[in-house]
Amino acid sequence: MRNTRSTQLLTELSQPGRRAVVLPKCDVPETPLSELLPADALADNPPALPELAEPEVVRHYTNLSTLNMSVDTHYYPLGSCTMKYNPKRNERLASLPGIVDLHPYQPEDSLQGMLQLLFELQDFLTEISGLPAVSLQPAAGAHGEWTALMAAAAYFRSIGQESRKLVLSPDSSHGTNPASAQMAGFTAVTVRTVDGAVDMDDLRSKLNDQVAVFMITNPSTLGLFETQMAEIADAVHAAGGLIYLDGANMNAVLGISRPGDIGADMMHYNPHKTFSGPHGGGGPGAGPICVAEKLGPFLPSPIVVKAGDKYRLDYDRPNSIGRVRTFFGNVGVLVRAYCYILSYGPDGLKAVSENAVLNANYLLSKVKHFMPVPHGTRCMHEFVASAAKLKQEKGVTAMDVAKRLLDYGYHAPTVYFPLTVPEAMMIEPTETESKEMLDAFVETLFRITEESADLLHEAPHTTPISRPNEVAAARQPCLRAVCN
Ligand SMILES: *Cc1c(COP(=O)(O)O)cnc(C)c1O
């Protein structure tokens, strides 16, 4: 039972001979293609293009464009992704001709405005993080992790400790953490957590002179703040290691807790999460990193510096690991982050985080009555509920609930992550949702838990495609109505 708009999209509309445009008769002598092109460059048959009138084409694409869920059309509580509203003002500012018409090969003298913006953004990011050195180049959070780890490797080489090859991270960490460690040439080692907190005994037993970095996501993907940071930092530093703080969840702590103040030596931001850059569909994002003074010389080249009243790009960085991205990084996202930070200011950013945490706790306090939240009675920006009881009682899984939410016009929460919670549903409301929206969402979630298992197993019922094979959809995407 798909809806009618979806059915239309799956129907073949092409009719032989139908046209959107009728061109006037050619009034110059026509040269046959065979005289213009070599025979082997010519196709045997013309391509089988759809034949349609203009309104049909426009309707097709307009309808297609409304099938996706987006922050501008739906509530989007996708945990760990901070899908908050993207203020349109930032879009407008980032599209000003003075910004979009720049070419990165222009002489520095003619790029002073952009360089000033990037320089000031570097400053903002170091202030918010409490870490003094910065690179805006990485193109995504995971890329930032990898870049900082490459800088850490260069640092250890510079002090004759290239034998440090291990990167530890808790079992609750984001999957990109161990992946970045492996990509940067380290070996990833897992540290246990107990009820969402690092197991200090397990951490201590794994610290030795082979350990380069301890990577921790704080607040964690369970939405919990790791309160043992000082103890962790002391232990890791005493063993000669560095601390990497995955800052993807900075939306919970802006102006409240600075990674540099709680022992971190390196961190990345996800401006497309925390600073409201639009994201989804794979990008583009950005992953600026901030690091401690001693790691600064190893950051990618160039960085923006100010000499007198001029801004310029500093390439004179002999210890730099080099470039990790063309030009200055994904500048469009950085411009939006700059506008966002500047328009909120220090007090506004703190209020953003306070409201993000308030909204998450409000939802948690309601959801836990019908869907247990195994870790924590309070949370930061998000929490992880478990549909394990539903599964046990009536065979309904987190996936069933997530899919059914689509029928009610909500994007699903993140499911089956983190792996430490069975039938996990990770819910991140963000600060940009109203109390009415949160109430409506909880009511819907509750209603779904009361629905029949049969109905839920078949959900969603209103989308053109119900349950695609997600791996195949990513690896062998079929972008046509009818695929082989
Ligand atoms: C989103 C996220 C990342 C990865 O960021 P990308 O920009 O998607 O590469 C890393 N860690 C955590 C905790 C995240 O939520």
Contact 55/301 with Cβ under 8 angstroms?
A: no
pLDDT value, residue 481? 56
Same domain as 44, residue 173: no
Same domain as 233, residue 182: yes
Separation of 272 CA from ligand 1 center, angstroms?
10
Give every CB contact of residue 61 below 8 A, 6+ residues apart in sequence.
none
Asked, for residue 77, whether it belongs to a domain, the answer is no
For residue range 186-243, what is the model confidence (pLDDT) as tens digits? Answer: 999 999 999 889 999 999 999 999 999 999 999 998 999 999 999 999 999 999 999 9
Q: Ligand 1 pocket test: pick from 78, 173, 176 the residue with the most ligand atoms within 8 Å of its Cβ.
A: 176
Q: Ligand 1 pocket test: pick from 174, 330, 417 the residue with the most ligand atoms within 8 Å of its Cβ.
A: 174
C-alpha separations of 122 from 57, 86, 132, 135 in Å: 45, 21, 9, 7
- Work out the average pLDDT over 101-117: 95
Minimum-distance ligand 1 atom for the alpha carbon of 143:
9
C-alpha separations of 296 from 177, 321, 399, 414 in Å: 21, 11, 44, 35
Asked if pLDDT for residue 1 goes beyond 80, the answer is no
Q: What percent of the chain has pLDDT over 90?
A: 81
Task: Please give the tally of structural domains in the chain.
Answer: 3
Per the listing, tokens 């129907």 go with 11
Residue 285 CB less than 6 A away from ligand 1: yes
The dihedral over CA atoms of 19, 21, 24, 29, expressed in degrees to the nearest 10, equals: -70
Separation of 112 CA from ligand 1 center, angstroms?
31
- Work out the average pLDDT over 270-299: 92
Asked, for residue 204, whether it belongs to a domain, the answer is yes
Same domain as 123, residue 23: no
Q: What whole-number distance in Å separates Cα of residue 159 and Cα of residue 54? A: 67
- Work out the average pLDDT over 272-283: 84
Asked if pLDDT for residue 291 goes beyond 70, the answer is yes
Same domain as 267, residue 130: yes
Per the listing, tokens 């959900």 go with 459
Separation of 122 CA from ligand 1 center, angstroms?
20
Provide the pairing of β-strand 310-314 with 414-415: unpaired
Asked, for residue 23, whether it belongs to a domain, the answer is yes
According to DSSP, residue 85 is labeled: -
Q: What whole-number distance in Å separates Cα of residue 192 and Cα of residue 202? A: 6
Nearest to 90 by CA among 340, 348, 432: 340
Structure tokens at 13: 């509309």
For residue range 414-432, what is the model confidence (pLDDT) as tens digits? Answer: 999 888 899 999 999 999 9
Structure tokens at 269: 């931001």
Residue 330 CB less than 6 A away from ligand 1: no
Q: How many CB atoms lie within 10 A of CB 234?
A: 12
Separation of 363 CA from ligand 1 center, angstroms?
23
Residue 226 CB less than 6 A away from ligand 1: no
Contact 403/443 with Cβ under 8 angstroms?
A: no
* Residue 368 dihedral angles phi and psi, to the nearest 5°: -65, -20
Q: What whole-number distance in Å separates Cα of residue 359 and Cα of residue 77? A: 11
Structure tokens at 382: 């998000």
- Work out the average pLDDT over 302-330: 95
For residue range 24-45, what is the model confidence (pLDDT) as tens digits? Answer: 998 999 898 889 999 999 999 9
pLDDT tier for residue 465 given thresholds of 50, 70 and 90:
confident
Asked, for residue 385, whether it belongs to a domain, the answer is yes
**Amino acid identity for residue 478 in this structure:** C
The residues facing 293 across adjacent strands are none
Among 344, 379, 404, give the residue marking a domain's end. Answer: 344
CATH code of residue 221:
3.40.640.10
Asked, for residue 389, whether it belongs to a domain, the answer is yes
Q: What whole-number distance in Å separates Cα of residue 352 and Cα of residue 345? A: 10
* Residue 274 dihedral angles phi and psi, to the nearest 5°: -60, -40
Residue 426 CB less than 6 A away from ligand 1: no
Among 309, 344, 379, give the residue marking a domain's end. Answer: 344
Q: What whole-number distance in Å separates Cα of residue 240 and Cα of residue 243? A: 10
pLDDT value, residue 170? 95
Separation of 248 CA from ligand 1 center, angstroms?
6
Minimum-distance ligand 1 atom for the alpha carbon of 145:
10
For residue range 42-70, what is the model confidence (pLDDT) as tens digits? Answer: 999 988 899 999 999 999 898 888 888 88
Q: What percent of the chain has pLDDT over 70?
A: 96
Residue 174 CB less than 6 A away from ligand 1: yes
Task: Give the closest residue (by CA) to ligand 1 atom 6.
Answer: 141
Residue 385 CB less than 6 A away from ligand 1: no
- Work out the average pLDDT over 135-156: 97
Same domain as 332, residue 189: yes
Same domain as 120, residue 250: yes
Residue 248 CB less than 6 A away from ligand 1: yes
Task: Give the closest residue (by CA) to ligand 1 atom 2.
Answer: 248
Buried b (16+ CB within 10 A) or exposed e, 68-97: ebebeebbbbbbbbbbbebbeebeebbeee
Separation of 432 CA from ligand 1 center, angstroms?
20
Residue 217 CB less than 6 A away from ligand 1: yes
Range of the structural domain that residue 220 is part of: 88-344
Residue 82 CB less than 6 A away from ligand 1: no
Residue 270 CB less than 6 A away from ligand 1: yes
Separation of 57 CA from ligand 1 center, angstroms?
37
Q: What whole-number distance in Å separates Cα of residue 268 and Cα of residue 266? A: 7
- Work out the average pLDDT over 86-104: 94
Same domain as 235, residue 151: yes
Nearest to 251 by CA among 43, 79, 444: 79
CATH code of residue 459:
3.90.1150.10
According to DSSP, residue 75 is labeled: B
Minimum-distance ligand 1 atom for the alpha carbon of 270:
7
- Mean pLDDT, the chain, integer: 93
Same domain as 358, residue 310: no
Asked if pLDDT for residue 260 goes beyond 80, the answer is yes
Contact 363/441 with Cβ under 8 angstroms?
A: yes
Q: How many CB atoms lie within 10 A of CB 372?
A: 14
The residues facing 384 across adjacent strands are 426
Asked, for residue 83, whether it belongs to a domain, the answer is no
pLDDT value, residue 280? 72
First to last CA, the chain: 23
Nearest to 127 by CA among 381, 341, 354: 341
Q: What whole-number distance in Å separates Cα of residue 99 and Cα of residue 92? A: 11
Task: Give the closest residue (by CA) to ligand 1 atom 7.
Answer: 141
Minimum-distance ligand 1 atom for the alpha carbon of 285:
7
Among 301, 327, 344, give the residue marking a domain's end. Answer: 344
| DSSP string for residues in 104-154 | TTS-GGGGHHHHHHHHHHHHHHHHHHT--EEE---SSHHHHHHHHHHHHHH
pLDDT value, residue 8? 62
Asked, for residue 79, whether it belongs to a domain, the answer is no
Same domain as 396, residue 326: no
C-alpha separations of 335 from 218, 313, 433 in Å: 26, 17, 24
Same domain as 370, residue 328: no
pLDDT tier for residue 384 given thresholds of 50, 70 and 90:
very high
Asked, for residue 70, whether it belongs to a domain, the answer is no
Separation of 460 CA from ligand 1 center, angstroms?
27
Same domain as 311, residue 391: no
Separation of 110 CA from ligand 1 center, angstroms?
35
Nearest to 243 by CA among 171, 141, 170: 170
Separation of 270 CA from ligand 1 center, angstroms?
7
Same domain as 34, residue 173: no
